[in-house]
Amino acid sequence: MTVYFIGAGPGDPELITVKGQRLIRGCPVILYAGSLVPPQLLDGHRAEQVVDTAELDLDAIVALLSDAHVNGHDVARVHSGDPSLYGALGEQIRRLDALGIPYEIVPGVTATAASAAALERELTLPGISQTVILTRYATKTSMPEGEALADLARHRATLAIHLGVRHIERIVADLLPHYGADCPIAVVFRASWPDEERVLGTLADIADKVRAAGLSGTALILVGRVLDAAGFANSTLYAKE
């Protein structure tokens, strides 16, 4: 028996790996985050037990995984995006390690990748930015020393900020001294879902645009000069020499 932590991708049911889809359709037990994973992702499953874990705490989830282990059932534990990013994966596998329950992690398409695709932009352009920083805006969960947004902004790299759209004014205030008021910024709400929305602007006007659009909740913020760069150099990847 194995618990498979499966990255479901950002929302589009087709943005899941072949391996992830095969496991979802083959495991007799499925535990999924119903508030973030579209039900269409479970199409074709033959599971005997399907549980939406949106309202369950860690103890309840681990109890279900333990029961499946006792019964010799593989489990598809389906997370949104990629399980290794803001997926509460660490605390689950720590408990499984203590219980001696085997598991495997199947990566998924991230919200950052889906947002870049929606914007039709490359996040790493020669001479503009070769670094992408994925972070979150600290509210309930405090940030470790040196990881406050203002500290990360000093790098002036491409930033992907999770869970922060409700605090867009504070985010802008942290970024302005390092990126400048004219720096492009994009907010992508529910990237790859049917109701996806994109708001584009600069640090000078994005807060007003976000408020006017009424965006909140599941949105990713992308910041950096790569979003509107035009005169960047070609990479050496396809150079004739």
Q: pLDDT tens digit string along 87-142?
A: 899 999 999 999 999 999 999 999 999 999 999 999 999 999 999 999 998 776 67
* CATH number listed for the domain at residues 111-227: 3.30.950.10
The per-residue DSSP string of 2-51 comes to -EEEEE-BSS-TTSS-HHHHHHHHH-SEEEE-TTTS-GGGGTT---SEEE
Burial (CB < 10 A; 0-12, 13-18, 19+), residue 49, is middle
For the chain, give the number of residues: 241
Domain boundaries defined on the chain: 3-106, 111-227
Which tokens sit at 78?
């389906």
Kindly indicate the confidence band of residue 167, based on its pLDDT and cuts at 50, 70 and 90: very high
Which tokens sit at 63?
């109890």
CATH level 3 topology of 3-106: Cobalt-precorrin-4 Transmethylase; domain 1 (3.40.1010)
The per-residue DSSP string of 66-115 comes to HHHHHTT--EEEEESB-TTTTS-HHHHHHHHHHHT--EEEE----HHHHH
pTM given for the model: 0.91
| Burial state string for 78-104 with b = 16 or more CB within 10 A and e = fewer than 16 | bbbbbbebbbebeebeebbeeeebebe
Read off the pLDDT of residues 40-54 as tens digits, 9 standing for 90 and up.
999 999 999 999 999
- Written as one letter, the residue type at 52 is D
d(CA 132, CA 110): 13
pLDDT recorded at residue 169: 96
